């Protein structure tokens, strides 16, 4: 008998081969600065699955270079709380239907456009395949349309989840809000070994139907500490050093994440921008806001525990030296001092149970309630609803709400 455990036969290490898949676009689910995100069916030799395609909407070499850089960064990251990216796909310009190309390039940049990811049915495969060859352009056109292929996250994003709550005069329960942020913080703790995200915002935090939180969109990420220079990201979630084009590191992402936590805890966005401002005016508005510290969340809403408020305040300190030095330190405080200080607290299953109960107008099942026992009030009753009501706001909070 051979001493090798397995009879490997011919050595195939280093063998290269080419494979092809067909993609059928089903629906648009998001839009950003460089690309449009679609949910699509991927098929190869009769085997199909569903993926998300972030499609670059311009034939411009400089944008293509940035897009490839994003794909390289994203594909190198492997963590439970980061959207898995598989790589890049390219389609020749001559293969793209003319109507599709015109629509893609003509779409306006609207980072606010975001829809709930659709639940897919076997018959929801209706649109023409992207690889269908139509002579819309001369065959010698060598340009390519690039797409980043990612896991399709069936569920929602944090911006949508928060806004749907606000529309119903509610806020996400405090422990679940802190849990969501802690999962993003864990993702950052891993990612900061390699990159600085630089664009943390509610729409880039996804939550799937199993209650798993996923960080997405590494389009403006920088490998290692960034030396400043280009102004990237959203002004509404931008740190002072990022706005001032200074060197940034992981503490910049923590500042942005702290603003997200503050927003979903209090219902108030402390760095909110008035409508109608151009980029220069937005920058000037935010710079003026930096002149004052943000009031602690517990001084705004009476149902925000002081320990959680203190953690949030440390995340959003204007001076980065006053913030957590590392994301893992922030996670430790969130989990040990608040989320699991009593020995039990939110889990992925709990977030799933709450989301299902919320969608069912809080007609929660017994199994769902078992997952949510940490929401019991002093009388031992599980409180699923967290109202946006004046009685929960201090005088300062009411003034800020105006």
- What does the block give as tokens for 331? 């996670």
Helices (H), 325-370: 327-332, 348-359, 366-370
Measured between alpha carbons, how far is 261 from 338 in angstroms, rounded to an integer?
A: 14
Residues 6+ apart with CB under 8 A from 383: 173, 375, 376, 377
Token look-up 């600085």 returns 196
Instruction: List, in sequence order, the alpha helices (H) in 136-173.
Output: 158-167
> Which pair of structure tokens corresponds to residue 265?
């805890």
The C-alpha atoms of residue 402 and residue 261 are separated, in whole angstroms, by 20
- Residues 316, 266 contacting (CB under 8 angstroms): no
Instruction: Give me the phi and psi of 185, to 5 degrees please.
Output: -60, -40
Element (H, E) at 206: strand 205-208
Q: Are 177 and 262 in contact (CB under 8 A)?
A: no
Closest CA to 352 of 205, 176, 167: 176
| Direct distance between the N- and C-terminal alpha carbons of the chain, in angstroms, rounded to an integer | 81
Burial 5-29 (b: 16+ CB within 10 A, else e): eeeeeeeeeeeeeeeebebbbbeeb
User: C-alpha angle with apex 178: 251 to 70, nearest 5 degrees?
Assistant: 45
Q: Tell me the backbone φ, ψ of residue 285, rounded to 5 degrees.
A: -65, -45
What angle in degrees, to the nearest 10, is found between the helix axes of 250-266 and 158-167?
20
Contact call for residues 188 and 197 (beta carbons, < 8 A):
yes
How far CA 104 is from CA of 39, 55, 96, 100, 107, in Å, comes to 15, 9, 11, 6, 6
Catalytic residue among 157, 199, 217, 299: 199
Query: Is residue 199 annotated as a catalytic residue, yes or no?
Result: yes
Catalytically annotated residues: 199
């Amino acid at each position: 008998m051979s001493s090798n455990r397995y009879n490997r036969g011919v050595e195939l290490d280093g063998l290269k081969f080419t494979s092809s898949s067909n993609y059928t676009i089903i629906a648009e689910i998001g839009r950003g600065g460089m690309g449009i995100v679609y949910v699509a069916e991927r098929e190869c030799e009769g085997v199909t699955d569903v993926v998300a395609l972030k499609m670059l909407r311009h034939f411009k070499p400089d944008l293509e270079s940035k897009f490839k850089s994003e794909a390289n960064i994203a594909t190198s990251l492997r963590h439970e709380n980061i959207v898995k990216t598989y790589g890049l796909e390219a389609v020749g310009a001559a293969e793209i239907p003319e109507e599709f190309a015109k629509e893609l390039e003509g779409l306006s940049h609207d980072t606010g456009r975001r829809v709930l990811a659709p639940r897919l049915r076997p018959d929801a495969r209706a649109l023409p395949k992207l690889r269908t060859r139509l002579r819309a352009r001369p065959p010698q056109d060598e340009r390519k349309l690039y797409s980043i292929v990612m896991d399709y996250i069936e569920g929602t994003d944090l911006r949508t989840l928060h806004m749907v709550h606000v529309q119903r005069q509610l806020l996400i329960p405090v422990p679940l809000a802190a849990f969501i942020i802690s999962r993003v913080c864990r993702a950052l703790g891993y990612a900061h070994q390699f990159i600085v995200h630089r664009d943390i915002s509610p729409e880039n935090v996804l939550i799937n139907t199993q209650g798993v939180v996923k960080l997405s969109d590494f389009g403006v990420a920088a490998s290692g500490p960034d030396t400043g220079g280009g102004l990237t990201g959203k002004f509404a979630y931008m740190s002072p050093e990022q706005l001032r084009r200074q060197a940034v590191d992981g503490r910049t992402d923590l500042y942005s994440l702290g603003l997200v936590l503050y927003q979903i805890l209090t219902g108030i966005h402390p760095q909110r921008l008035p409508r109608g401002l151009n980029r220069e005016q937005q920058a000037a508005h935010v710079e003026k806001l930096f002149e004052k510290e943000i009031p602690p969340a517990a001084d705004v809403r009476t149902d925000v525990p002081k320990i959680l408020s203190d953690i949030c305040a440390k995340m959003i300190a204007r001076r980065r030296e006053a913030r957590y030095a590392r994301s893992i330190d922030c996670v430790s405080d969130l989990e040990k001092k608040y989320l699991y200080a009593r020995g039990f607290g939110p889990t992925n299953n709990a977030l799933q149970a709450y989301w299902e109960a919320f969608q069912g107008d809080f007609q929660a099942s017994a199994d769902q309630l078992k997952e949510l026992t940490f929401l019991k009030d002093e009388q031992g009753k599980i409180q699923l609803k967290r109202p946006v009501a004046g009685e929960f706001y201090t005088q300062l909070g009411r003034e800020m709400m105006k």
